Amino acid sequence: MSKVDLNKETGPREVFCGLTSIVWLHRRMPDAFFLVVGSRTCAHLIQSAAGVMIFAEPRFGTAILEEKDLAGLADAHDELDRVVNDLISRRPEIKTLFLVGSCPSEVIKLDLATVAEKLNTRFLGQVRFVNYSGSGIETTFTQGEDGALKALVPLMESTDDEKLLLVGTLANNVEDRFKKIFNNIGIPNVESFPPRQSTELPKIGKNTKVLLTQPYLSDTVRDLKHRGCEIIYAPFPLGVEGSTKWFLAAADSFKISELKVHEVIAPLTNRARQALEKHTEILRGKKLFLLPESQLEISLARFLHNECEMDLIEVGTPYLNKDLMEEELNLLPDDTKIVEGQHVEKQLDRVRASNPDLVVCGMGLANPLEAEGISTKWSIEMVFSPIHGIDQAADLAGLFSRPLKRNQILTSKSLATH
Amino acid sequence: MELTLWTYEGPPHVGAMRVASSMKDIHYVLHAPQGDTYADLLFTMIERRGQRPPVTYTTFQARDLGGDTAELVKRNISEAVERFKPKTLLVGESCTAELIQDQPGALAKGMGFDIPIVNLELPAYSKKENWGASETFYQIIRTLLKDKANEIDNINPQRWKSLGRRPKVNILGPTLLGFRCRDDVIEIQRILSEQGIDTNVVAPLGSSPDDITRLIDADINVCLYHEIAETSCEWLKRNFGMEYTTTIPIGIKNTISFINEVHEKLNLPLTNKQELEHKSKLPWYSKSVDSNYLTGKRVFIFGDGTHAIASAKIAKDELGFEVVGLGTYSREMARQVRAAAKDLNIEALITNSYLEVEDAMKKACPELVLGTQMERHSAKRLGIPCSVISTPMHVQDVPARYSPQMGWEGANVIFDDWVHPLMMGLEEHLIDMFKHDFEFVDGHQSHLGHTATKLPENIKTEHEQSPTNVEKKESIHWTESGRAELTKVPFFVRGKVKSNTEKYALSKGLPEISDETLYDAKAFFG
């Protein structure tokens, strides 16, 4: 492992909870519904984070706990039963219903697993019920996806077929690109998890080789391993370097030569490097500070330093799984300061003291930092945009060069002189 | 349990944050897990605030629950007081912390600070955002002023005369994330100063704890938003005898009543009564011939209590619309909204379910919807023009330009905002005249660029319907001639004509609708 400077910090945080991941998970699986069992805060959080006013009737909702549920006047299980019945008669097209635990449901120890089990018996053949927790006392932002996927693993049937399984939500177009490239490399059987339809779960077994597309899936990986899957350790497919090593790692586990991989991806790599150049011109030598939120921070730091030549001040991450991140950490320059966890006030003190050119942060902090004259990039955009793969490398860099470019335009002297 | 797909109001602690963020020199320690920090983005993104809300989240995690979360609360309080040096500290909890009962307010009070501490108990499982804002504002005022209640005599609203100064008032209720509060305050202050009345304190927006202690220097209070300030105004009346106004100055008639009410309470003669009639362009614009076409336009209204009631009055009395629906999500104001609806001979809709609102909207067949951003989306789906009159806030509700709802300029803004989405009268007339010309296509839009003239799915004629639309299969058969005649009806009223004709045909037991049936129905409904 490279000699990165690992630190831990605790204190008040400024991050989303795992419920937020419902925003992209429900879009990935259009036949699934996510029912949070929680409070008005949970409902308000998801609609605020998602800006959901665009939906006619969203495929997520909240069963809001009321006084009578807490006081034991109403049996919470009966109440949830009633809500689920309502929901299913309203939305008969739903195939999978995720019961999602929240902070309050965890604290009052509402047993969603038992509820899900009962409902599965009752709605057998019609709707499948799965439960996991997206609560903020246990999960941060992207960890919600980890919980949802882990909950699906027991439902995946077994097979001894050899296959490559891409794990982690991808934009559909990126997924198609990846499959095509793997086919060209010589890996014909490639599937994705989560699938595009919740009912079409891939089968897994001892000949399944798991390649992660996202770094935040620790629990899912553990369970896939228990099912006999082989985990391919690699950097994550962000940027040309990360994606190349990711393809190579997969090819290696299928005993395909490096030469073959390079032959397939060379034209992609060449054009991506060209496309990256104009962003690198802007980003080169600029100082970057990443606040913790999505767990993508380490991969992004590696990409922005190694390919866009930015200087890293500090790389925050809400949680660090050293096993999954080892390949990434090895690619970082020595002495990169990595901070796991957060004390938001102290971290902002360091932001100000280090005079960064760009800060990657959550939406709650972006405008206040801009108002202090510090350019920002919202981290939530990374989970909504197609950023994976060689072909997207320039788009990914563009997310970071745009605020700097804009800053340049707006602060140029043209306004003053005319 | 209540199934909620979308909610008009956030939890009560978000209301507390609205008050805290509106004020200066105040800090709010919120015992809450990390996810609750999402609420910051309401202020920094929707309001585009350049400052973080003055809130410290204790960020307790599952592993803390077995241990000492009270210590965690105390540590966060100490750090917050030391770092932010507030003049008043608010301490409270969000939904999850309420369950673990650490009583952070009591803990804070035991820590020996020499600043006032406001203990906020906001029941998250029964109350909502506006209630939380109201309660927080009230608790701040009570904490900072309760000791003075016994010290001073009742405040006589006419005391300004004997004190030899101009009368002065407090403007209470405006907050961040309130609908156009920023501009309403400017407009109301302008109106009052024109009448020779000074503003003592505006609160919560822009005030500090020091300003709160000065509230009792004013002669009366102006309660600008019942949802936020009524409880506080009542308390100030009970404890200091301070009178407060209850008229909300939205619309010309209400603005004039408001000015009258202020003058009566202060016993200040109103000298420019005539002049007031000409302060806004709304009355003339509404009277000008072009606006003839606005007569009897069917309007559906849903929003917070304050704005829904005011909108209904303006719609009916000042623009000559017909109010066909009125409702609110503010349960605290259900009584007032019901009364307003009763005056209009309709039944009020009190609900927190936007789907219920959408259903009611569909049934009412309005030509204009006045609602929240959610009604704007529902109306768009139904092809009905809409103007937004109420929270919940959206980034578009914080315009760069001066855009109040209250007072004279507010009435101007309202005229433009409500009438532009409708096709302008003359234009509507011309489209009707030229509708058979080949240049004319369905979906033609007003030059004003509003997009709400699309023919919605549910009012396509039968042969256009998709076979999957089960509900519509039950509808009555349209003959060739009936369909042909229906397509000649201008698209913006076609939906209404279709449903009216079908209603008529059903009531007469007719098996099918021909062109003649359409004209029979037209004559029947007038």
pLDDT tens digits for range B266-325:
999 998 888 998 999 999 999 999 898 899 999 999 999 999 999 999 999 999 999 999
What the block records as the tokens of A84 is 């689920």
- The ranges of chain A with pLDDT < 70 are 1-2, 51-56, 73, 412-418
Contact A367 B2 (CB under 8 A): no
CA torsion sign for A283, A287, A293, A294 is positive
Contact B11 A44 (CB under 8 A): yes
What is residue B475's predicted lDDT score, i.e. its pLDDT?
Answer: 64
What the block records as the tokens of A87 is 């929901």
Would the pLDDT of B440 be above 70?
Answer: no
CA B83 to chain A, closest CA, distance in angstroms equals: 9
Nearest CA-CA partner of B492 in B363, B368, B375, B326: B368
Rounded average pLDDT over B251-272: 96
Q: What is the set of active-site residues of B? A: 290
How many residues does this entry show for chain A? 418
The one-letter amino acid code at A99 reads: L
Listed by number, the residues of chain A in 55-84 with a beta carbon closer than 8 Å to a beta carbon of chain B are: 56-58, 60-67, 69-70, 74, 76, 79-80, 82-83
What is residue B518's predicted lDDT score, i.e. its pLDDT?
Answer: 87
pTM score above 0.95: no
What is residue B522's predicted lDDT score, i.e. its pLDDT?
Answer: 83
What the block records as the tokens of A31 is 């036949």
Could you give the C-alpha distances from B248 to B260, B306, B326, in angstroms and in order? 12, 7, 18
B323-350 core/surface letters (b: 16 or more CB in 10 A; e: else): bbbbbbbbbbbbebbbebbeebebebbb
Residues of A whose CB is below 8 A from B84? none
A291-320 core/surface letters (b: 16 or more CB in 10 A; e: else): bbbbbbbbbbbbbbbbbbebebbbbbbbbb
Q: Rounded to whole angstroms, how far apart are CA atoms A160 and A305?
A: 41
- A230 and B CB contact within 8 Å: no
**DSSP string of B208-226, one letter each residue:** -HHHHHTGGGSSEEEE--H
Q: Rounded to whole angstroms, how far apart are CA atoms A247 and A213?
A: 11
- pLDDT tens per residue across span B149-172: 988 889 999 999 999 999 999 999
Of A384 and B369, the one with more pLDDT: B369
Residue A65: closest C-alpha in chain B:
B1
Rounded average pLDDT over B224-244: 97
Would the pLDDT of B511 be above 90?
Answer: no
Peptide bond into A154 cis (omega under 30): no
What is residue B418's predicted lDDT score, i.e. its pLDDT?
Answer: 95
For residues B97, B98, B100, B104, the Cα torsion angle rounded to the nearest 10 degrees is 70
Contact A192, A139 (CB under 8 A): no
Could you give the C-alpha distances from B334 to A282, A330, B213, in angstroms and in order? 57, 63, 32
* A358-A360-A365 Cα angle (round to 5): 105
Q: Which of A9, A20, A36, A44 to mutate to test the interface with B (most CBs of B within 10 A)?
A: A44
What is residue B150's predicted lDDT score, i.e. its pLDDT?
Answer: 86
Of B333 and B449, the one with more pLDDT: B333
Could you give the C-alpha distances from B348 to B7, B336, B342, in angstroms and in order? 19, 10, 8
Contact A96, A116 (CB under 8 A): no
Rounded average pLDDT over B89-111: 95
The one-letter amino acid code at A221 reads: V
Contact A367 B50 (CB under 8 A): yes
Burial class of residue B207 in the structure, from the number of CB atoms within 10 Å of its CB (0-12 exposed, 13-18 middle, 19+ buried): buried
- A284 and B CB contact within 8 Å: no
